[in-house]
């Protein structure tokens, strides 16, 4: 039987590869990754690495961002089908039409989108830097925010800045049941509700803390509280439990009796597929150079502003 961990470590050395993993990846992948991070940290690392190969255990738009920032490197994605409902809900032609209907607006776009949409945007942001970026846009400029209406609504409230929002959402973060969370809070009166800003506004209104995956992790580490209800993809609980073994983390329950608080795209990657993609050097992310350069402009603006 193949010991995937050992083989992956061997291939990593042989190929001079770096393995980057998002917090929503299965625990076994997180445990052998060189860096586990949120979208912002992973893109910074992808830009800075001197490895020859980036194995990106995350979803397609993340691996594509790595390729945009490191065109000379080979970027591998363990499962080509690992997409994102936000990226899929914002096709480039419709986004282009949205921009054309609002030609005087600055387009700030969440990193959860395709390279084509990045190339049509002015500035990219992640949940970790969106507020900082929006606050830097001159007050006389109107803003289009795409593709997550929940993150957009949260940012409008936080910054007091009106924005025209694209009507998109994440299939995972819209699944949480407020009724079940309220019941959990009665059962666990000391537990703090913490949430990712992709959750619906009515849920966010009840949260003690809102932040990106990394910000949620830092919050539970530094908080004196001992118990948390976590409203984001359940993969993040692995690092929370590792960093704070004495604390209790309860995944926020979805409305249906299913595992809908697991991202079906993120969970397409498995340890076996990480090994296989390294062995086969495929699936590889390939981008047309003109498109890559255009997409790099809005990502580099984000890097300068964050
Ligand atoms: P983070 O940038 O907070 O890691 O979020 C990425 C994501 O896809 C959330 O669903
Ligand atoms: Fe996309 Fe939602 Fe999955 Fe994040 S959790 S990758 S936003 S579908």
pLDDT in tens, the chain (306 residues): 779 999 999 999 999 999 999 999 999 999 999 999 999 899 899 889 999 999 999 999 999 999 999 999 999 999 999 999 999 999 999 999 999 999 999 999 999 999 999 999 999 999 999 999 999 999 999 999 999 999 999 999 999 999 999 999 999 999 999 999 999 999 999 999 999 999 999 999 999 999 999 999 999 999 999 999 999 999 999 999 999 999 999 999 988 888 889 999 999 999 999 999 999 999 999 999 999 999 999 999 999 999
- In CATH terms, 4-81+266-287 corresponds, of 3.40.50.150, 3.50.30.60, 3.40.30.10, 3.40.50.10800, to 3.40.50.10800
Nearest atom in ligand 2 to 265's CA: 3
* Distance from Cα 295 to the centre of ligand 1, integer Å: 19
What is the per-residue pLDDT for 2? 78
* Atom 6 (ligand 1) nearest CA: 39
| 27 Cβ neighbours under 8 A, 6+ residues apart | 235, 238
- In CATH terms, 178-251 corresponds, of 3.40.50.10800, 3.40.190.10, 3.40.50.150, 3.40.640.10, to 3.40.50.10800
Tell whether ligand 2 has an atom less than 6 A from the beta carbon of residue 234. Answer: no
Tell whether ligand 2 has an atom less than 6 A from the beta carbon of residue 171. Answer: yes
Ligand nearest to the CA of 171: 2
What is the per-residue pLDDT for 258? 80
> Where does 86-169 sit in CATH, by number?
3.40.50.10800
Q: From 129, 213, 219, 252, give the residue whose CB has the most ligand 1 atoms within 8 Å, as the site to mutate.
A: 213
Q: Please give the Cα distance from 229 to 135 (Å, whole number).
A: 30
Tell whether ligand 2 has an atom less than 6 A from the beta carbon of residue 263. Answer: yes
Q: For the whole model, what pTM was predicted?
A: 0.97
* Atom 1 (ligand 2) nearest CA: 84
| 108 Cβ neighbours under 8 A, 6+ residues apart | 121, 122, 123, 124, 125, 130, 133, 134, 137, 143, 144, 145, 146, 163
* Atom 8 (ligand 2) nearest CA: 84
For the chain, the distance separating the N- and C-terminal CA atoms, rounded to the nearest angstrom, is 46
Residue 289 three-state SS: helix
What is the per-residue pLDDT for 203? 96
* DSSP label at residue 70: -
């Amino acid at each position: 039987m193949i010991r995937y961990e050992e083989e992956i470590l061997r291939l990593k050395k042989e190929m001079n590869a770096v393995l980057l993993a998002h917090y929503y990846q299965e625990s076994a992948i997180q445990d052998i990754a060189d860096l586990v991070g949120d979208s912002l940290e992973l893109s910074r690392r992808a830009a800075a690495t001197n490895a020859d190969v980036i194995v990106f255990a995350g979803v397609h738009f993340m691996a594509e961002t790595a390729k945009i920032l490191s065109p000379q490197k080979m970027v591998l994605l363990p499962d080509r089908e690992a997409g994102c409902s936000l990226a899929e809900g914002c096709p480039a032609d419709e986004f282009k039409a949205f921009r054309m209907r609002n030609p005087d607006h600055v387009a700030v776009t969440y990193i959860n989108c395709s390279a084509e949409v990045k190339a049509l945007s002015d500035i990219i942001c992640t949940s970790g830097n969106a507020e900082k970026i929006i606050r830097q846009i001159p007050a006389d400029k109107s803003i289009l925010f795409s593709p997550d209406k929940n993150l957009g609504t949260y940012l409008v409230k936080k910054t007091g800045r009106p924005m025209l929002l694209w009507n998109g959402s994440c299939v995972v973060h819209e699944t949480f049941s407020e009724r079940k969370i309220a019941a959990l809070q009665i059962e666990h009166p000391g537990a703090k509700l913490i949430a990712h800003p992709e959750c619906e506004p009515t849920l966010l209104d009840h949260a003690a803390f809102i932040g990106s995956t990394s910000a949620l992790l830092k919050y539970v580490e530094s908080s004196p509280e001992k118990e948390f209800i976590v409203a984001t993809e359940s993969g993040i609980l692995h690092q929370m439990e590792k960093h704070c073994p004495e604390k209790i983390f309860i995944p926020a329950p979805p409305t249906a009796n299913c595992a809908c608080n697991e991202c079906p795209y993120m969970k397409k990657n498995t340890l076996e597929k990480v090994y296989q993609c390294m062995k086969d050097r495929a699936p590889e992310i390939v981008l047309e150079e003109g498109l890559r350069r255009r997409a790099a402009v809005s990502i580099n603006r984000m890097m300068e502003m964050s």
